[in-house]
């Protein structure tokens, strides 16, 4: 294989490379997050605050199915990055073909199951009272577009693994812009209500898929797969599954968290509390976009250089990513501590929601400055193919700490206990991640070590 964009991952200076990878990733995540944010504002202003809660009920279900595609994408892209770093293009091509096959089979199956059991799933995730009917409308339509979203999320991670962050950014921007335009047409102009919001989202997923499909057919992609690459290859499938399970488990825990949070908050404060959580949840997706962008940019750099046995560069990429991400996270923290009332007012003018959301937002983001270490640490182990460590660190915050805390703390502090569970779980997860990452750096990222000892 001739000199390609992916080989820049092993030669350019780390700081320059991380900026090159992270800026497009951050812009893409920003636009996607703005889409979710503005979509929620449109829904709240044009349909009502109950519609915000309805969307919040549906998101964990649709996102979990779509996360099948992302998990297959992240797991396979780790293999692709390391294969390209080791100059093994055939393995990269087989992996990509297997990713496509797995994504199609699993997501379509999950959508069928999701639609079949709609009457049980929607109420279980908090679709109760006045929230039920709009949630069912949104759920049914959005699920039709979820396979396109899953394929897009899978393809996006592969584009990054090739070292083409700008195209990955475009892929994230297209559905975001499309969704906002369609929101205005379907909700505001055509007055289609929740159905209009759902169709805008679904068609946006289709637009994203169309762009990614074009990318891999064009000369911009190194991965030109043939029909035989789509046949499932057991060793590759198992490696994709072990690494991808980390991402899938994270999204599964996120979905379970939404289920518990919506039900706990509905019991404590009714629809108002669920709406407050929906607004705070949107800010969690939006406000941390630069931190997530650095994490996304870090993944192919660490994976490629680990595959090429360039351990000094791997270690440098860890420290640089944490430094940049921590600085940006601190800026986000300051803004959210100062302006939570103004942010809440963008979504709704409901007096009860306005009273409850700002203090909740301050608690939820209280530990934001330290989360960079937590995110980069978990991403590192996934990038280099160490699935067990990546799974443990990924599930730490929500699985081991947050979920137990939201059941325990409200016994003593009521609804406040739910909100203070966020910073407590962030602090605990960061401490544990720091321990494992430091041990890994000392033990396995010594540039003088033999490559065999590092590759195991």
Task: Domain ranges for the chain, please list them.
Answer: 40-232, 245-448
* Overall average pLDDT of the 319-339 stretch: 92
Does residue 450 carry a pLDDT above 60?
A: no
The DSSP secondary-structure symbol of 3 reads S
- Position 365 scores a pLDDT of 93
* Overall average pLDDT of the 410-437 stretch: 93
Residues 6+ apart with CB under 8 A from 66: 107, 146, 149, 150, 153
Nearest to 138 by CA among 46, 84, 59, 207: 59
pLDDT grade for 456, boundaries at 50, 70 and 90: very low
| Strand stretches in 272-422, DSSP E | none
pTM of the model: 0.67
- Position 254 scores a pLDDT of 76
Percentage of residues in the chain having pLDDT higher than 70: 91
Whole-angstrom Cα distance, residue 108 to residue 218? Answer: 26
Nearest to 137 by CA among 65, 196, 94, 50: 196
* Overall average pLDDT of the 423-447 stretch: 89
* Overall average pLDDT of the 66-87 stretch: 78
Angle at CA of residue 61, ends 124 and 107, nearest 5°: 135
Whole-angstrom Cα distance, residue 418 to residue 265? Answer: 8
Does residue 451 carry a pLDDT above 70?
A: no
**What would the pLDDT profile of 42-53 be if each residue is shown by its tens digit?**
777 777 767 777
**What would the pLDDT profile of 335-379 be if each residue is shown by its tens digit?**
999 988 888 888 877 888 888 899 999 999 999 999 999 999 988
Q: Minimum mean pLDDT among 64-78, 107-121, 265-279, 346-360: which range?
A: 64-78
What's the mean pLDDT when you consider all of the chain?
82
Which range, 188-202, 248-262, 427-441, has the best average confidence (pLDDT)? Answer: 427-441
């Amino acid at each position: 294989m001739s000199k390609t964009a992916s080989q820049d991952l092993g030669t350019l200076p780390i700081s320059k490379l991380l900026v090159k990878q992270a800026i497009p990733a951050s812009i893409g995540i920003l636009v996607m997050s703005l889409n979710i944010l503005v979509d929620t504002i449109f829904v709240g202003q044009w349909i009502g605050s109950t519609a915000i809660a309805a969307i919040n009920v549906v998101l964990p279900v649709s996102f979990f199915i779509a996360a099948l595609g992302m998990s297959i994408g992240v797991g396979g892209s780790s293999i692709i990055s390391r294969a390209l770093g080791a100059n093994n293009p055939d393995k990269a091509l087989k992996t990509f073909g297997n990713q496509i096959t797995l994504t199609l089979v699993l997501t379509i199956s999950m959508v069928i199951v999701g639609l079949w059991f709609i009457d049980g799933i929607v109420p279980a995730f908090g679709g109760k009272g006045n929230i039920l009917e709009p949630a069912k409308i949104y759920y049914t339509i959005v699920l039709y577009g979820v396979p396109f979203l899953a394929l897009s999320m899978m393809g996006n991670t592969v584009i990054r693994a090739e070292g083409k962050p700008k195209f990955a950014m475009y892929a994230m921007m297209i559905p975001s812009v499309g969704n906002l335009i369609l929101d205005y047409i379907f909700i505001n102009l055509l007055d289609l209500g929740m159905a209009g919001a759902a169709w805008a989202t679904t068609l946006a997923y289709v637009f994203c898929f169309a762009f990614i499909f074009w990318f891999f057919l064009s000369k911009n992609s190194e991965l030109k797969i043939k029909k035989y690459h789509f046949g499932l290859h057991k060793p590759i499938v198992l490696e994709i599954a072990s690494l991808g399970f980390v991402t899938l488990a994270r999204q599964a825990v996120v979905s379970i968290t939404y289920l518990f949070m919506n039900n706990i908050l509905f019991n404590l404060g009714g629809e108002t509390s669920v709406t407050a959580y929906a607004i705070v949840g949107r800010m969690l997706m939006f406000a941390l976009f630069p931190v997530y962008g650095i994490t996304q940019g870090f993944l192919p750099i660490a994976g490629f250089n680990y595959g090429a046995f360039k351990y000094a560069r791997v270690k440098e990429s860890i420290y640089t990513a944490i430094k940049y991400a921590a600085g940006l996270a601190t800026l986000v923290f300051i803004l959210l501590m100062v302006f939570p009332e103004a942010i809440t007012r963008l979504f709704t003018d409901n007096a009860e929601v306005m009273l409850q959301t700002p203090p909740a937002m301050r608690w939820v983001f209280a530990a934001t400055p330290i989360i960079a270490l937590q995110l980069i640490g978990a991403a590192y182990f996934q990038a280099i193919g160490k699935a067990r460590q990546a799974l443990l660190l990924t599930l730490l915050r929500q699985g081991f700490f947050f979920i137990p805390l939201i059941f325990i703390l409200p016994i003593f502090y009521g609804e406040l206990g739910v909100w203070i569970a966020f910073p407590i779980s962030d602090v605990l997860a960061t401490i544990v991640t720091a321990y494992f990452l430091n041990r890994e750096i000392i033990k396995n990222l010594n540039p003088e070590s033999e490559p065999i000892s590092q590759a195991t």
